[in-house]
A and B are shown apart, each in its own frame.
Chain A
Amino acid sequence: METKNSALTRRRLIASAAAVPLLATPAIAQNSLKGTKLTVLVGQFYVPETNAMLDQLAVDVARDTGMEIRIERLAGDELGTKTAAVVGSGRGADLSIGVEFDTLLYAPKLADVTDLAEEIGKNYGGWMQVAKDACMVGGRWKSLCLGQAPAAWNYRVDQFAAAGINAFPDTFDELLKAAKLLHAKNTPIGMTLGHASGDGRSTNYPVLWAFGGKEFEADGKTVALDSPQTLAAVEWYAEVYKYFIPGTTAWLDPDNNQAFLGGKCSATVNVNTIYLAARAASGTNPAMKNIAENMNHGLWPRGPAGRFASYNINTWLPFASSQNRPGQMAFLRAWFDKSFLVKWTKTGQSYFIPTFEGMDSLDVWPEDPKLKIFKDLNKLNRLEGFAGPPSPAAAEAVSKYILVDMFAKACTGQLKPAEAVKWAAREYEQIVKKRAG
């Protein structure tokens, strides 16, 4: 086991920090942080055991270092709002869990953790590109990637088989054909087209990319949305929408889970929480048992430009305003120590997967065959703003749901596909123009 053989355990790492000359922080000896405090803002991970493990880690680090650690657990949007308040005021916390663009937006108020990031990266075979995209600003690491939550196609194998489909579609043409067949059997599919902060992105950006569409050119400033490729993506969406379950333009994040678990929807894009919920309830609920037994996960279909995905990313944000820099570093080292992270990842059942190149060789993958695909999904992620680097303009477009609404306007007939593309491109142009001004 990694944890037993690893030469670098959490406790040893903290205690021997002084021996590492490249570290960004002063040496941390046992109990040397006595009298200091560390407040950590976290959200609610879906798998309850992983929350308990985080709490236990805080207890262990507090015992090792002597510092007092307070874990503040916040629900949903509250975490983002509190994080923004800490960034604005410079008070209230030392560390927080952030999302995709937070590092970019808050960079001036975040501590430089480049040395620590490089040290950790070496232990795991290097960071994946998506981690660098999410955590590096101006060539420096301003946060550390906690992990990503891969979104797969969740589908009902039995309902697909009843419609004459024996494998999850590998291309968008096949998915369209499948949607027609499933609709005819009164077991429609559904993709989130509402203002859902998580599923809105993970469902819609991959369609654009698969057809070769992109928001920006590589410079990140030239809007490239109005293209034949984007139009093809929108036209495909408008066609497949005819065979959707009703209501998808109003779907918020929980709605596709509910529709699938309620037996109203035969396929949707989601992280593995649908399956985990069904599996957990299998012992007491026959309907959930039926769903857990008859569902599986599929990769995104391949489009003309390839196969892509967009996932929720979480990062550890170290606030520069913190008066306890050694404490921040001690906690982050403990988190990324293999003795903790490997076990935490495996317990999480691939809900959140750390973004390291060397993940494949670690004992982090669930035994359940229906979750095997997440190992492959973990390699597909791409950040919004493609083909440019992550940018404030791309973040603003996400916050305004421009791409989601582009598809939704075409699907509902509010605009023709070409008009919807032009509408969205104008919104992007406006964002870029004002930022250039």
Chain B
Amino acid sequence: MLSRIVDNERTLGLLLVAPVVLLLAGLVAYPLSVAVYSALTDQTLAESGRFIGFGNFVNVWDDQIYRQSLRNTLVFTVGSVTLKLCFGLGLALLLNEAFPFRRLVRAAILLPWIVPTVLGTMAWLWMFTPNFSVINYVLAQTGISKTGLPWLTDPDLAMFSVIIVNTWRGTPFLAISVLAGLQAIPLELYDAAAIDGAGKLHRFRYVTLPLVMPVLLTTLVLSTIWTFSDFGIVYGLTKGGPMNATHVLATLSYGTALSAGNTGEGAAISLTMLPILLPLIIWQLRRVRRSVVA
């Protein structure tokens, strides 16, 4: 019986894939289906609710706070990912060079990524806190600024502050991923380029960048998805304030579903992230599939 199953390629294939399918069904498909169902009802935490079609989506779009949170999410994501790209790429190039204690530095660079979000955010809150900011203290002591900067008080600076913290946290992941890509580039290619007279800039432009691009793109897509749905940093630093200047879709969804008890509407807010992220996800999946086939 067992040998018959093993001999049948189709049956064996299905059997081997089954655990992954079950895992995905349980951990991804089921929660997503529940979220979609909730979003189409007026469900609250205490009541199952009735089907209202796209009513929640219409309601959230009518809400100025939702539209502001959507704008904030886009600014937060674009700002953070751009900075993470610049710092991550730069850091990877530096870490790829030979210098004393290189391995130790490479390990240490991962710390912001390893430290729990809440812990890291609390440390930044201490640095940005309105009346006792340690950064402002340093600025005042060094004579750069008498009063310091309103890091979390000014709406624009508050957005900049949450972007900085997200960049601090996400840069190591990008840097280490790109570093792995850099180390996979054969040194002969650089030698050949040097013989052809290519300078440092040209070697980076025509050798490093094209070869590291697949890793870089994958990392950027992942980073974009994670940043877009980030909750902990904004919630820990500002709770969406001041005046909703840093409210993002994740924090708005949390408040709507858990504080106000509107789980249906909270789910709808979360799901509005999907159409924005879906093209990225599809593009990424196609790329992965192509690379597997190749």
By a beta-carbon cutoff of 8 Å, the part of chain A in contact with chain B is 80-81, 84, 87-88, 101, 105-109, 193-197, 245-252, 255, 258-259, 262, 264-265, 392, 395-396, 398-401, 405, 408-409, 412, 414, 423, 426-427, 430, 434, 437
Contact = CB atoms under 8 A, between A and B. Distances in A.
Interface in B261-276: 261-263
Interface in B209-264: 238-244, 255-256, 258-263
Nearest to B153: A250
B150 A195 contact: no
28 contacts: A80-B259, A88-B45, A109-B46, A194-B238, A195-B238, A197-B259, A245-B131, A246-B130, A247-B130, A247-B152, A249-B153, A250-B153, A250-B238, A252-B238, A255-B129, A258-B132, A392-B260, A392-B262, A395-B259, A395-B260, A396-B256, A401-B241, A401-B244, A408-B241, A408-B243, A412-B242, A427-B64, A434-B59
Interface of B: 44-47, 55, 59, 62-65, 129-132, 147, 150-153, 155, 158, 238-244, 255-256, 258-263
A196 B237 CA distance: 11
A84 B243 contact: no
A237 B13 CA distance: 70
Contacts of B62: 430, 434
B242 A400 contact: no
Contacts of A434: 55, 59, 62
Nearest to B131: A259
Contacts of B147: 246
Given A392-B261, A430-B63, A195 B46 contact: no
Contacts of B242: 193-195, 249-250, 408, 412
B45 to A, nearest CB: 5
Nearest to B147: A246
**Interface hub of A108, A264, A396, A400 (most chain B Cβ within 10 A):** A400
Nearest to A400: B65
Contact of B46 (A105, A251, A265, A401): A105
Contacts of B259: 80, 197, 395, 398-399
A249 B152 CA distance: 8
Contacts of A108: 46-47
B245 to A, nearest CB: 9
B266 to A, nearest CB: 10
Contacts of B241: 194-195, 249-250, 401, 405, 408
Please indicate which of the listed interface residues A195, A197, A252, A426 has the most CB atoms of chain B within 10 Å of its own CB.
Answer: A195
A321 B65 CA distance: 35
Nearest to A105: B261
Nearest to B133: A247
Nearest to B262: A396
Contacts of B238: 194-195, 250, 252
Given A194-B241, A250-B153, A437 B55 contact: yes
A320 to B, nearest CB: 10
Contact of A264 (B46, B131, B152, B260): B131
A405 B239 contact: no
A58 B43 CA distance: 35
Contacts of B239: 194-197, 252
B45 A426 contact: no
Nearest to B62: A430
A409 B243 contact: yes
A411 B187 CA distance: 61
A418 B55 CA distance: 31
B243 A400 contact: no
A223 B62 CA distance: 17
Interchain residue pairs A-B with the least CB separation, the first 7 = A247-B130, A399-B259, A195-B241, A195-B239, A250-B152, A105-B261, A249-B242
A423 B244 CA distance: 13
A262 B131 CA distance: 9
Given A106-B261, A258-B129, 7 more contacts: A101-B261, A105-B261, A106-B46, A248-B130, A414-B243, A434-B55, A437-B59
